[in-house]
Structure 1
Amino acid sequence: MKIFSSKEEGEEDGEKTKSKGDQAKELLAKYGGAYLATSITLSLISFSLCYALISAGIDVQALLQKVNSIYQ
């Protein structure tokens, strides 16, 4: 199970996957305000958590690398 991956997955038979922007547009059209509220909330939590960890002097990059190595 890979959580942090820079590679696009799901390419089959030469088909390119949709861009993140196109995926977001489809989700917004399908789920409307619920998708928007969830995305904004999760973004605020993520940014706040990273800010708090960095302010506390924790090496966030090393922490994320450790988490990534667990799931590879």
Structure 2
Amino acid sequence: MFFKKKYCPTCKKHDQLYRRLDVKERAVVEERHRGQTDLWRCTAEGCRWYQPWSHQRGGAKLPEDFKNPAPDAAGK
């Protein structure tokens, strides 16, 4: 599931596409967001920003290992 039209403070752009965190990403943020189910992340290339859907200040960056790949690298 994806949603558009959210602002990403890392990309500094409006209308960014967001998707739910996957299992590995959720495991990394579990301690900070224990039991929270509405965590979404920006899908822009190189971005690591995630946040609860309706609370941008509750967000943060995922570790460097979770950087979104370039579009052509994602297919490899």
Could you tell me the TM-score, scaled by structure 1's length?
Answer: 0.21
Q: TM-score, normalised by structure 2?
A: 0.20
